[in-house]
Amino acid sequence: MTLDPKDWPAFRKTAHAMLDASLDKMENAREGRVWTPVPKSLKAEINTPLPQGGISPEQMQAELESIMPYNPGNIHPRFFGWVNGAGAPSNILAEMAGAAMNANCGGRNHVGPVIEQQVIRWAAQIMGMPSETTGLISSGTSMATVTALKVARDKFQKDHPGAELVGYTGAQTHSCVRRAFDLLGIGKEALREIPCDENFEIRLDDLQAAIDKDRAEGKTPFAVIGTVGAVNVGAIDDLDGLADLCEKEGLWFHVDGAFGAAAILSETVAHRVKGLARVDSLAFDFHKWWQVNYEAGCVLIRDPYLHRLSFANRPEYLRHDEDGLAGGDFWAVDYGPELSRSFRALKVWTHLKTHGIDAIAEVVERNISQAQYLKARVEAEEKLELLAPVALNIVCFRYNFKYEPNEKNARIVVDLQESGLAAPSTTTIDHETAIRVNLTNHRTRESDLDMLVDAILEMGKELE
């Protein structure tokens, strides 16, 4: 008994049809609704007893095609809500090759670790970090953050055994940092959230005061987490200021650059993120502004010795040999928590080689320009109000209702989503509900933003 097709030619025909359907999905990404809720009828069809016998490849192809219209919508150019990349057809090729290879990239001597190391070298070069920087392609910034902060925690626990560790970040930092403190046993209460200024950037004077207070109380400060691209408004912390403070205080400097680290590719914004070259660790996502298909995050760590020391602990059945399949000079399990790992790096490698860094930089630059275009449109409309500075690629604004502005702006967003026209999201800025428009899509045009603004004005008028 084997799970291979009984009829390879027939399976090949079905696989080609499935490939065509997948390519059609991306080729026609601009067409139709942005988001479509899953129908109750489809949910009922999916809700079946555990299959005892199989179905034919043709039947499975039909079922796969039936679910394809109900993705979150992020491949569509008017998906504005959350920081999701739009993906690229080139990644379909990588996914096919990766599925056929079925490689476990936690270790052993094969092409997976070779490609992953090359991607890490490219990433370090882009960010301006040293050539000896180590790293991993992770599931996303959340796991990358856990990996980086474990290295930081282990270093300080070794240097200060039994100490009560505390860390610091801005009030706008992503919640994954607090979760990382919890998962690593440091404790969520050990993360100090430092107030931000009017530009939503961490206040360095308040940060210094918090460090001084903790030291005076006998606690051991160990890490500062800066942000490049705060998820609410796209704010960028003063990286050089944070790096200077960390050097003075002897603290680990980590940066959450989930989507914002891609700003290093922008001619107009790169000067604000050049401090990435000074970090001890960086977490970011290739599957956001870089447009690699999900999932593909990245962690970079400046000190390769500390990185390996924090994770390398192989049992005898994973011992290293100089030759054979147990050889190889890089095993990911020595640098992170996972032994079972998919070949995520293949997508990143394929994407960078297919398009080149210049094309990706052009996408980043265009989205930044589009954010300024949307800002200007908002400021030109009497009924619309900008709620936060536009530092990068996120625009937060609202329709100026006289009564119930929070409820009505939230209603506009839901109505837009359910109409299928566009999919912004909401956030809260100074207790005001904001219509939040994020631009990380290589398919978006200024005409899409005009369509969005016109629809918001029309819906707002109806709700007044």
> What is 403-428 written as a DSSP string?
S-HHHHHHHHHHHHHHHTS-B-EEEE
Is the model's pLDDT at 338 over the cut of 70? yes
Mean pLDDT of 278-285: 98
Confidence at 317, pLDDT banded by 50, 70, 90: low
Per-residue b or e along 255-284, where b marks 16 or more CB atoms closer than 10 Å to that residue's CB: bbbbbbbbbbbbeebbebbebbbbbbbbbb
Does an H or E element contain 48, and which? none
- Do domains 9-52+59-87+357-464 and 104-342 share one topology? The answer is no
Q: How far apart are CA 336 and CA 230, in angstroms?
A: 26
Q: 288, 79 in Cβ contact below 8 A?
A: no
Taking CA 278 as the corner, what is the angle to CA 294 and CA 339, rounded to the nearest 5 degrees?
A: 40
Segments making up each domain of the chain, as ranges = 9-52+59-87+357-464, 104-342
Mean pLDDT of 349-368: 98
pTM of the model: 0.95
Query: Can you state the percent helix, strand and coil of the chain, rounding each to 5?
Result: 50, 15, 40
Q: How far apart are CA 235 and CA 393, in angstroms?
A: 9
Q: How far apart are CA 387 and CA 406, in angstroms?
A: 13
Q: How far apart are CA 131 and CA 189, in angstroms?
A: 36
Q: How far apart are CA 108 and CA 79, in angstroms?
A: 40
Q: How far apart are CA 300 and CA 302, in angstroms?
A: 7
Is the model's pLDDT at 389 over the cut of 70? yes
Is the model's pLDDT at 82 over the cut of 90? no
Is the model's pLDDT at 316 over the cut of 70? no
CATH of domain 9-52+59-87+357-464: 3.90.1150.170
Closest CA to 196 of 218, 173, 228: 173
Closest CA to 440 of 263, 200, 176: 263
pLDDT in tens, 132-153: 999 999 999 999 999 999 999 9
At the topology level, CATH places domain 104-342 in Aspartate Aminotransferase; domain 2 (3.40.640)
Closest CA to 283 of 241, 332, 336: 336
Q: How far apart are CA 200 and CA 105, in angstroms?
A: 39
* Pairing of β 252-256 and β 281-285: parallel
Q: How far apart are CA 143 and CA 299, in angstroms?
A: 9
- pLDDT value, residue 320: 74
Q: 92, 22 in Cβ contact below 8 A?
A: yes
Least confident window among 80-94, 129-143, 325-339, 348-362? 325-339
- pLDDT value, residue 355: 98
Q: How far apart are CA 139 and CA 151, in angstroms?
A: 18
